[in-house]
Amino acid sequence: MQQKSVKKIVILGGGTAGWISASLLVKILGKVLDITLVESEDIGTIGVGEATIPPIQSLNAALGLQEEEFLRETMGTIKLGIQFEHWGDVGESYMHAFGTVGKDFPFCHFNHFWRRADQLGMSFNYWDFSLNYQASLQNKFSKLDRIEGVNLGGLTYAYHFDAGLYARFLRKYSESVGVKRIEGKVATVQQDPLTGDIQALLLQSGQRIEGDLFLDCSGLHSLLIDKTLNTGFEDWSHWLPADSAVAVPSAKTEPVVPYTRSIAHANGWQWRIPLQHRTGNGFVYSSKYCTDEEAKQLLLSNLDSQALAEPRLIKFRTGRRLQQWQRNVVSIGLASGFLEPLESTSIHLIQSAVLRLLKFFPHLGINDSDRAEYNRQSKIEFEQIRDFIILHYKLTRRQDSKFWRDCKQMAVPASLERKLQQFAQSGLVFREQDELFSEIAWQQVMLGQGLLPADHHPLVDALTEAQLQDMLQNLKVIFEKTTERLGSHQEFLARVAGTR
C-alpha cells in the first residue's frame, strides 16, 4: 500500500484518448486536481477513429456539450448502425442496428417470435422490426425517444465525426477550464529508484514535468505502460489476425447516409464513414494474407468518390496490456490495447476507462486492491468486446479465400463458443453484467450471418399461427408508418449543423 496523495495528473498524449481523459477529469475533479497534458505535434496522432456507438451521448452529456455545436465543430453525422456487407456470404448484407428490434416480452426476446414465423414460412424480415434499420434504408433521422401511443422504443443513435476536429474541440474546452497543455517530445521518463513509480517526464527541450499519477495516452507508442514499465501484453492475433490498415479520405458523396458501412473483401474488410464534408475510408487486413500494396490498391479501387490524399498505412497488434493500470500509470486508448474498429468500440473504451478511473480515483494514494479491481474490470470489458468482434469472423460462410476459410475454422474462446452453441440450440443469448453489447446486438449479428436457432421460447406457442401473423404484421406497419414520418438525415444536418 502506497500513501502518496494524488493531486497532480500528467497526461501523455493529445489524441482522442488524451483529450477525452483531460476533459472528463477536469469536468469532474478539476477543482481538486492540477492537470497537465503533454503532446507532440511532430509525432502527431493516429488520425483515424471516426465512428462511435450510442454511449458517446453520455460522454457528451457529462461534458455538457451541446449536440448542435458538437456536430457543427466536428463535421459530425448521425449513425444508426453498421451495415455488414458480404460478411455472412458474398452478396449478403445485414445491419447491426442500434436500439431495439420488435417488441420484447418478459422472459422472451422478440427474435423467438420472428424465428417461429420464419419456420412457419411467413415472409417477414427480422429487420422489418428495427426502426433504426428502416430509417437507415431511407436516409432518415429525427430525434424520437419513443414511438407515440405504443410501448416501443424510438431511434437510438451515435455519431460519425472527424477525429482530429473532435480532439481539437475537446482541447478548446479543456484548456478553457484549466488544463495546461505543453507542446514537446518526451525524451526520458524518470522513475523512482526505490518504487519504480514514474516521477517525471523529461522533454527534449529540457523541461521536466512531475506528477503523482500519469495517464499513458501515447497511442501505439505506449511509452509509459510498455516501454517504461514493461507491462506484459496478451496477444489475441490468433483470433483476430488483422494487423494492418490503410486509410484514406475521399470526397463527400450524396446522400450522406446515417450508418457506417463495413464491406468484406476476400482478405479483409473496408469501412466507409460518411461525414459532412468527406468520407472516411479504410481497409483492415492481415499481412499474412495480403500485402500492403495489394491492400492499398484494393482500397483505392473500391472508393465511391475521389481520394483526397495518399493512403496511410497503420500497423497494430490485437490484444491488451496485462495490467492496464500499473504502478502510478493508467493506460488509456491505444496504449492500453487494440481491438480492430469493426464495431467502433475504441473511443467507447477510452470513455469507459476514464469513468472507471474516476470511480476508483486514488485521491489519498494508490491502493493495491482498487488498482487490482480496476484491472479486473478492464480485462472483462476488453474480453467481452473481443468475443463480439470474433463472432463476425467465425460466423462467415464464405469459402472464396483462405482468409475466410481460416476464420470459419478457427477455434474461438470458450466464452464465445458457449454463446454460439446456446443460441444455435435455443435462440437464447445473455448480456453478462455490464457487457457493452446487448442481447439484441448479438442476435442481429448471429441471425444476420445465418445462425438460425433450432428452437424458440414456449411463450411464442401461446399464439396461434394467425395471431402470430397478425401481431407481426401490425408491428411491421407501426415501424413503416413511423419511418414515413421521420425527416431526412440531410435536413436534420442542415438544421442543426448548417450543412447544405
- In the complex, which residues of this chain contact ligand FAD (CB under 6 A)? 12-18, 38-40, 43-46, 48-52, 163, 185-186, 217-219, 221, 223, 245, 247, 282, 314, 316, 333-335, 341, 344, 346-347
- Ramachandran angles phi, psi of 393, nearest 5°: -75, -45
Between 385 and 429, name the residue whose CB sits nearer to ligand FAD: 385
Please tell me the distance from the alpha carbon of residue 28 to that of residue 10, in angstroms, as a whole number. 16
3-state secondary structure of 10: strand
Q: Which residue is nearest to ligand FAD (CB)?
A: 15
Active site residue 79: yes
> What nine digits make up the cell of 473?
404484421
Between 110 and 283, name the residue whose CB sits nearer to ligand FAD: 283
Who's near 110: CB < 8 A, 6+ residues apart?
100, 101, 102, 103, 104, 129
Between 43 and 358, name the residue whose CB sits nearer to ligand FAD: 43
Q: How far is the CB of 343 from ligand FAD (least distance, A)?
A: 9
> What nine digits make up the cell of 397?
460462410
Between 163 and 407, name the residue whose CB sits nearer to ligand FAD: 163
Q: How far is the CB of 86 from ligand FAD (least distance, A)?
A: 19
The residues with which 244 forms a beta bridge, in sequence order, are 285, 315
Please tell me the distance from the alpha carbon of residue 292 to that of residue 298, in angstroms, as a whole number. 10
Helix (H) or strand (E) holding 128: none
- Ramachandran angles phi, psi of 187, nearest 5°: -100, -40
- Ramachandran angles phi, psi of 309, nearest 5°: -160, 180
Between 185 and 379, name the residue whose CB sits nearer to ligand FAD: 185
Q: Which of 31, 79, 408, 476 is catalytic?
A: 79
Please tell me the distance from the alpha carbon of residue 15 to that of residue 171, in angstroms, as a whole number. 10
Q: In what order do the strands lie in the sheet with 198-203?
A: 186-191, 198-203, 208-210
Between 50 and 118, name the residue whose CB sits nearer to ligand FAD: 50
In contact, 437 and 386? CB cutoff 8 Å:
no
Between 423 and 437, name the residue whose CB sits nearer to ligand FAD: 437
Q: How far is the CB of 440 from ligand FAD (least distance, A)?
A: 20
Q: Which of 34, 97, 70 is nearest to 440 (CA)?
A: 97
Q: How far is the CB of 400 from ligand FAD (least distance, A)?
A: 24
- Alpha-carbon Rg for the chain, nearest whole angstrom, is 23
Write the CA distances from 167 to 126, 217, 331, 341, integer angstroms: 38, 13, 18, 18
Between 37 and 429, name the residue whose CB sits nearer to ligand FAD: 37
Write the CA distances from 122 to 115, 446, 448, integer angstroms: 10, 20, 17
Around Cβ 157, how many Cβ atoms within 10 Å? 23
Q: How far is the CB of 159 from ligand FAD (least distance, A)?
A: 10
Please tell me the distance from the alpha carbon of residue 65 to that of residue 27, in angstroms, as a whole number. 11
Q: How far is the CB of 340 from ligand FAD (least distance, A)?
A: 7
Provide the total of helices (H) and of strands (E) in the chain, helices listed first.
14, 23
Before 255, cis peptide (omega within 30)?
Answer: yes
Catalytic machinery residues: 79
